[in-house]
A and B are shown apart, each in its own frame.
Chain A
């Protein structure tokens, strides 16, 4: 109630507490729908992995698990820097907040850069599903599967691109938002009493990271390496 007349208070809320509670609940609700959004893809993945496990295992060897692991570390660190950013915002350290947020963006960009390298490699090796996919004989040789399993290999790579692509799009949406927050924070928009946008974006960023924590073993680590 003490901040009832803060400039951050929107007209239809009684006080900042109600406003913050609403925003946080809204973001959690948004994350719930995101889980269902990714959930559809995870279901498709689960069914086809169960159905064609051998092929999925064989194809999984064509992802570079070292790059995947490195990217996992990069993302976990970006979650840490994001958390530090939220913490700094809660303490009212506007420059530190901006710095942590920029660091988060740098780490996110490194992740996306590695992803570009991986995708390029898939294009070069004709592992992108569709008419340019390896013809059956070559696929059998390259992926160590039966020629008749080429279609199932395409399923694996369809899922790889759809799942990591959707994840990457979520990061690409996140980065400009974090950049905006860093800019706003630098100019002193956030105070210990009002820094909800930083907190909410943090929630979103952590969610996107967690999705990757699931994607990495499911796509890169099928079977032994």
Chain B
């Protein structure tokens, strides 16, 4: 390959999905999964930076011990805004919406998702939800925390709970439609010869994610509906004055919102499997186990929700069982980590940007995952509940791991998406900055929490200041790390070096078509006759261009 390709400069294909049509209408009414992925890319990036600004305000306030920048009420609205934007409008939709949308049809050799119009509808649902939530945030904000605990959210909060609830309802509908589309697509649209055990692990991970989206999201939808009915029409589901049970809300909420964490992390794990295999030049170790562990995490994820409620007055027996099942989640998670590291063993590892992110992911996920075990342990959890230990733990998983994987995936598939390379040097530098900034931001929070600093307060005792200043300093480094890729990704869309069809080179059908791909993805319908991640053979010329 190298001899043939190096001889001539790679050129962009004459016609591809990006230049197939022009104008705003061609984007807003597109049913091409690749274009919809880019619509998601633009919208989730906007929400990410908006949520990031809320985080910046929080970290600024916490530089000094007294609450000197914002009032308590404003601070409540800041961390609520941060949580709602980041969880429902960035972390949950991002990897499925951007990378999943773009790649699943390509990876399985299909022309599109099974329901292209529903795919577009799910983006519009996302946008409608974002509209409601942004309006709620501008029009006075929301102060319930992203968890909307009753009876505060139903009876006492004077902020825009219903508006935000409607927004999350729409976002949930978007998530359900995406999951439905992926499930049907993966079942029915695979290319001839692409059996289940030849599917890339990215696809397996999205399949498991979609199951959670289908089975979990409706429950949060109906829960929001009940909160809205109670708040708006004085129904009494969670009102203790009428015999309703506020704790029931927590059960319903976490029945979705714990699995929701796996909606975030499973696609991230799928990305990491692709990256580790490609940059180790090896078949992933224990393919079947990695695929199966995604499903195991999805199933176990539905049985652990009450570990968020150990201090809510849950019966001790229920707590014991939920604690035990929570520990079990460590098994499939560890299977993945061990299999990734075993894949590295004696591989020809190279350190391009995506691999830096992948290795960073593994490190951060190990810390995030192991501290999860602290929280599954009943006694320890009671000690650190509602402290910064929790905040640090879930940021290691939801930001440290998920965003690292997302960035790694975005770099890895950027040449496929745009047909151009990002600047490698800048990318490596920013990957390192993000890793350093992230750890400096969140590792001190483990210590703060363990020492007893509660979350959701805008003032704290003087002795916590050093660690808080470290955390805020880390946040500013992290912000720089996130902004550099914004600049060079935008730059590379016009000026980046032109990429070949398979620049890394990697296995997988998405690399067997042009970069960027044509609207119909493949010039001829692909057929698959080789095993998955077959890095033993020399890379072949793209066959389905």
Contact = CB atoms under 8 A, between A and B. Distances in A.
Same complex: yes
Interface of A: 10-12, 14, 18, 21-22, 25-26, 29-30, 32-34, 36-41, 43-44, 47-48, 51-52, 129-131, 150-152, 154-155, 158-159, 161-162, 166
Contact of B187 (A25, A37, A51, A52): A25
B242 interface: yes
B235 A162 contact: yes
B183 A29 contact: yes
Given A22-B187, A33-B176, A36-B218, 5 more contacts: A11-B111, A12-B520, A22-B115, A155-B242, A162-B229
Nearest to A14: B525
B53 to A, nearest CB: 34
A38 B226 CA distance: 12
B229 A158 contact: yes
A117 to B, nearest CB: 21
Given A155-B237, A162-B229, A33 B223 contact: no
Given A33-B217, A151-B242, A161-B235, A12 B116 contact: yes
A49 to B, nearest CB: 12
Contacts of A155: 236-237, 242-244
Contacts of A166: 222, 225
Given A21-B188, A29-B184, A43 B236 contact: no
Contacts of B245: 47
Nearest to A10: B116
A159 B230 CA distance: 11
29 contacts: A11-B111, A12-B111, A12-B112, A12-B189, A25-B187, A25-B188, A26-B114, A29-B180, A29-B183, A30-B180, A33-B176, A33-B180, A33-B217, A40-B226, A44-B226, A44-B237, A44-B248, A47-B245, A51-B243, A129-B235, A130-B233, A152-B242, A155-B244, A158-B230, A159-B237, A161-B235, A162-B235, A162-B237, A166-B222
Interface string B189-214: 10000000000000000000000001
B215 interface: yes
Nearest to B180: A29
Given A12-B116, A14-B525, A32-B215, A158 B222 contact: no
B333 to A, nearest CB: 25
B334 interface: no
B257 to A, nearest CB: 13
Nearest to B33: A12
Nearest to A34: B218
B243 A152 contact: yes
A26 B237 contact: no
Contact of B110 (A12, A30, A47, A154): A12
B111 A154 contact: no
Contacts of A18: 188-189
B290 to A, nearest CB: 25
A188 B233 CA distance: 46
Interface of B: 110-116, 118, 176, 180-181, 183-185, 187-189, 214-219, 221-223, 225-226, 229-230, 233-237, 239, 241-245, 248, 252, 520, 525
A155 to B, nearest CB: 5
B211 to A, nearest CB: 10
A40 B223 contact: yes
Contacts of B216: 36
A39 to B, nearest CB: 7
A130 B232 CA distance: 10
B184 A33 contact: no
Nearest to B176: A33
A30 B242 CA distance: 35
Given A39-B218, A47-B248, A158-B229, A130 B241 contact: no
A36 B225 CA distance: 14
Contacts of A30: 180
A154 B218 CA distance: 25
A193 B219 CA distance: 37
Closest 8 CB pairs of A and B: A151-B242, A130-B234, A37-B218, A40-B222, A12-B111, A158-B235, A36-B218, A12-B112
Nearest to A158: B235
A26 to B, nearest CB: 5
- Most A C-beta atoms less than 10 A away, residue of B111, B216, B237, B239: B237
A33 B180 CA distance: 9
A130 B215 contact: no
Contacts of B218: 33-34, 36-37, 39-40
Nearest to B191: A14
A18 B191 CA distance: 12
A158 B236 contact: yes
A35 to B, nearest CB: 8
Nearest to B519: A11
Contacts of B225: 162, 166
A48 B218 CA distance: 21
A136 B70 CA distance: 45
- Most A C-beta atoms less than 10 A away, residue of B176, B223, B235: B235
Given A26-B184, A29-B183, A40-B223, A130 B111 contact: no
B236 A154 contact: yes
A39 B180 contact: no
Contacts of A131: 234
A37 B215 CA distance: 9
A129 B184 CA distance: 42
B214 A33 contact: yes
B222 A41 contact: yes
Contacts of B183: 25, 29
A154 B230 CA distance: 11
B180 A26 contact: yes
Given A12-B110, A26-B115, A158-B229, A40 B243 contact: no
Nearest to A52: B243
Contacts of A10: 116
Contacts of A162: 225-226, 229, 235, 237
B318 to A, nearest CB: 14
Contacts of B248: 44, 47
Contacts of A47: 245, 248
- Most A C-beta atoms less than 10 A away, residue of B180, B222, B252, B520: B222
Nearest to A129: B235
Nearest to B234: A130
A214 to B, nearest CB: 15
A52 B110 CA distance: 54
B243 A48 contact: yes
Contact of A36 (B111, B112, B215, B525): B215
- Most B C-beta atoms less than 10 A away, residue of A51, A161, A162: A162
- Most B C-beta atoms less than 10 A away, residue of A34, A36, A51, A152: A36
